[in-house]
């Protein structure tokens, strides 16, 4: 992470660096943090962010696949272990620029999908030009070059 950056004016960078003490962190390690979305689309709506700034899904490279897999795994773990959510009811995904409200990569973990309202189901509808599942973003990245 020698090229890792933190942007002064990015709210998620402030959360990741501990400069926003109003956000309760549900999980963190040296690479990611997980916390509740301030505008939940269902009973449980969490965000996973990298602790360094990545603008969004269009900035991802094949080298980011392990980061995305970790974000996905930890979101499911937190939803399952801390909120007793059935894994089959979880929607994991990303908004596609320019349809992002915060320009810092963040994966949504929403559950149960059946409790989402009509508008939320449209905002978080997979396979649209504005939202895709985490797995489709991961699968869409080219393979990392062999080293």
Q: Give the integer Cα–Cα distance in Å for 119 and 112.
A: 15
129: left (phi over 0), alpha (psi -120 to 50) or beta: alpha
105 and 54 in contact (C-beta within 8 Å)?
yes
How do strand 32-36 and strand 91-95 relate by DSSP bridges?
unpaired
Query: From the candidates 45, 53, 95, 106, which is the catalytic residue?
Result: 106
Q: Give the integer Cα–Cα distance in Å for 135 and 116.
A: 20
**Tokens coding 85:** 């959510």
Tell me if residue 106 is catalytic. Answer: yes
The 10 Å CB-count burial string (b at 16+, else e) for 11-34 is bbbbbbeeeeeebeebbbeebbbb
**Tokens coding 103:** 């320009």
**Residues carrying an active site annotation:** 106
């Amino acid at each position: 992470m020698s090229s890792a950056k933190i942007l002064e004016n990015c709210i998620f960078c402030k959360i990741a660096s501990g400069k926003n003490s109003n956000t309760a962190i549900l999980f963190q390690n040296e690479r990611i943090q997980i916390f509740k979305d301030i505008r939940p689309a269902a009973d449980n709506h969490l965000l996973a962010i990298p602790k360094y700034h990545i603008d969004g899904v269009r900035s991802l490279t094949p080298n980011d696949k392990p980061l995305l897999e970790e974000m996905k795994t930890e979101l499911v773990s937190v939803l399952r272990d801390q909120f007793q959510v059935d894994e089959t009811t979880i929607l994991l995904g990303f908004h596609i620029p320019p349809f992002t409200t915060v320009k810092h990569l963040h994966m949504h973990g929403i559950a149960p999908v059946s409790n989402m309202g009509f508008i939320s189901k449209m905002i978080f509808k997979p396979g649209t030009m504005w939202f895709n599942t985490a797995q489709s973003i991961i699968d869409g990245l080219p393979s990392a070059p062999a080293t």
